[in-house]
């Protein structure tokens, strides 16, 4: 443990890790996380590691922001938008920590999932070229994905219904998407309580189910599926247990997820009553963020 603490302190003194240090730092976090699992005082050991990081654990860095959780929970809208926008501190002594953060597979997977959503929207538009489309975006966060789709596609005949439990997320997304305001409706609601008389061509949720128990997961997908139109699809994301950034996230960011494999997602969909023909598992390019697709019609998007 002491040697890893010294290593981290050396990196702090040199102004943060440069790319040549990334592997060694990854391995250090992995070794410490392994050590802590068998330790009698895991919290104290994790704190030792965070103390060694000093200012690199302040809200000036993304890892510090992640640990401090200004909105009271992991993965808030600002954190996710920092990831999307690859935000890097202006401070010379801290910026390398942000570069290290963005090089992790988990933030890469988050950026890839924005593209995954945009790809699904593009396919949906190709399937129904001429008509107005309704998309339900559950746990919509910063809505960077929606903004980028609308900006890139110029699609004026699609409406996004965005549900989020955090009013700060909604205020932030309204501001982010101020130029697309007429194509968006916001609902300040817990996803588990969301009900609507409307029916949707696509229901999308990323970054939410990873925090839910299996019971909540099943309840939510059954409820959301009822909101689909004919020939529509429900797509929900969940991180894979082999997430290579897991130790870093847990040790430094105190960021815990309910990980699920392809098999787990199929199993959960079967428990929710779906037939195998209506279930498909997709993934972004890193294979870290999986997507459970549940279709209503004959073909998947
Ligand atoms: C990790 S962010 C994901 C944002 C967005 N889906 C994305 O991928 O960019 C999670 C969002 O879920 C929201 N959230 C958490 N629990 C929720 C719940 N029970 N119902 C609705 N929104 C929730 C949070 O407020 C936050 O904005």
Q: What is the pLDDT of residues 68-101, one digit of tens each?
A: 999 999 999 999 999 999 999 999 999 999 999 9
Residue 166 CA: which ligand 1 atom is closest?
A: 25
Architecture per CATH, domain 107-295, reads as: 3-Layer(aba) Sandwich (3.40)
Domains in the chain: boundaries: 2-103, 107-295
Which uninterrupted H or E stretch holds 244?
Answer: none
CA–CA dist 53, 37 (Å, integer) = 20
**Quick check: 290 and 241 in contact, CB under 8 A?**
no
State if residue 164 touches ligand 1 by the CB under 6 angstroms criterion.
yes
Structure tokens at 111: 């950026």
111 beta partners: none
State if residue 78 touches ligand 1 by the CB under 6 angstroms criterion.
no
Structure tokens at 75: 């993965």
State if residue 210 touches ligand 1 by the CB under 6 angstroms criterion.
no
Say if residue 11 is exposed, middle or buried (CB neighbours under 10 Å; 0-12, 13-18, 19+): buried
What local confidence, expressed as pLDDT, does residue 1 receive?
81
Helix orientation angle between 167-176 and 77-84, rounded to the nearest 10 degrees: 30
Say if residue 116 is exposed, middle or buried (CB neighbours under 10 Å; 0-12, 13-18, 19+): buried
Structure tokens at 117: 């959503």
Helices (H), 14-104: 22-37, 42-53, 62-68, 77-84, 95-102
CA–CA dist 206, 244 (Å, integer) = 19
Which uninterrupted H or E stretch holds 280?
Answer: strand 279-283
State if residue 221 touches ligand 1 by the CB under 6 angstroms criterion.
no
Residue 77 CA: which ligand 1 atom is closest?
A: 27
What local confidence, expressed as pLDDT, does residue 130 receive?
87
Q: Whose CA is nearest to atom 12 of ligand 1?
A: 139
pLDDT in tens, 235-271: 999 999 999 999 999 999 999 999 999 999 999 999 9
What local confidence, expressed as pLDDT, does residue 209 receive?
98
What local confidence, expressed as pLDDT, does residue 175 receive?
98
For 293, left (φ over 0), alpha (ψ -120 to 50), or beta? Answer: beta
Q: Whose CA is nearest to atom 17 of ligand 1?
A: 165
Instruction: pLDDT tens for the chain, 301 residues: list them.
Output: 889 999 999 999 999 999 999 999 999 999 999 999 888 888 999 999 999 999 999 999 999 999 999 999 999 999 999 999 999 999 999 999 999 999 999 999 999 999 999 999 999 999 999 899 999 999 999 999 999 999 999 999 999 999 999 999 999 999 999 999 999 999 999 999 999 999 999 999 999 999 999 999 999 999 999 999 999 999 999 999 999 999 999 999 999 999 999 999 999 999 999 999 999 999 999 999 999 999 999 999 9
Q: What are phi and psi of 89, to 5 degrees?
A: -60, 145
Question: Which of 45, 39, 41 lies closest to 251 in space, CA to CA?
Answer: 45
Structure tokens at 287: 């294979």
Q: Best of 85, 164, 206 to mutate for ligand 1, by most ligand atoms within 8 A of CB?
A: 164
State if residue 81 touches ligand 1 by the CB under 6 angstroms criterion.
no
CA–CA dist 109, 112 (Å, integer) = 5
């Amino acid at each position: 443990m002491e040697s890893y603490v010294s290593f981290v302190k050396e990196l702090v003194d040199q102004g943060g890790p440069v790319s040549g240090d990334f592997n060694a730092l990854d391995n250090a976090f992995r070794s410490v996380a392994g050590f802590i699992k068998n330790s009698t005082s895991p919290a104290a050991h994790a704190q030792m590691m965070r103390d060694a990081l000093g200012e690199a654990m302040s809200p000036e860095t993304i890892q510090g922001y992640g640990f401090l959780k200004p909105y009271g929970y992991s993965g808030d809208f600002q954190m996710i938008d920092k990831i999307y926008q690859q935000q890097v501190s202006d401070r010379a002594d801290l910026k390398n920590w942000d570069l290290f953060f963005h090089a992790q597979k988990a933030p890469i997977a988050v950026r890839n999932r924005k593209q995954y959503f945009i790809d699904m929207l593009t396919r949906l538009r190709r399937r129904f070229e001429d008509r107005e489309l309704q998309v339900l975006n559950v746990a919509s966060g910063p809505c960077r994905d929606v903004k980028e789709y609308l900006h890139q596609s110029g699609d004026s005949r699609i409406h996004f219904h965005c549900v989020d439990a955090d009013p700060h997320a909604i205020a932030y997304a309204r501001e982010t998407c101020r130029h697309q305001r007429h194509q968006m409706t916001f609902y300040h609601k817990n996803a588990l309580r969301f009900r609507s008389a409307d029916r949707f061509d696509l229901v999308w949720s990323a970054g939410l189910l990873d925090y839910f128990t299996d019971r909540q997961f099943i309840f939510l997908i059954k409820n959301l599926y009822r909101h689909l139109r004919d020939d529509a699809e429900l797509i929900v994301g969940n991180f894979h247990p082999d997430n290579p950034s897991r130790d870093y996230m847990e040790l430094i960011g105190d960021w815990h997820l309910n990980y699920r494999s392809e098999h787990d997602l199929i199993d959960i969909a079967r428990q929710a009553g779906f037939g195998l023909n209506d279930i498909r598992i997709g993934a972004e390019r890193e294979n870290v963020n999986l997507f459970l697709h549940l279709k209503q019609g004959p073909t998947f998007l």
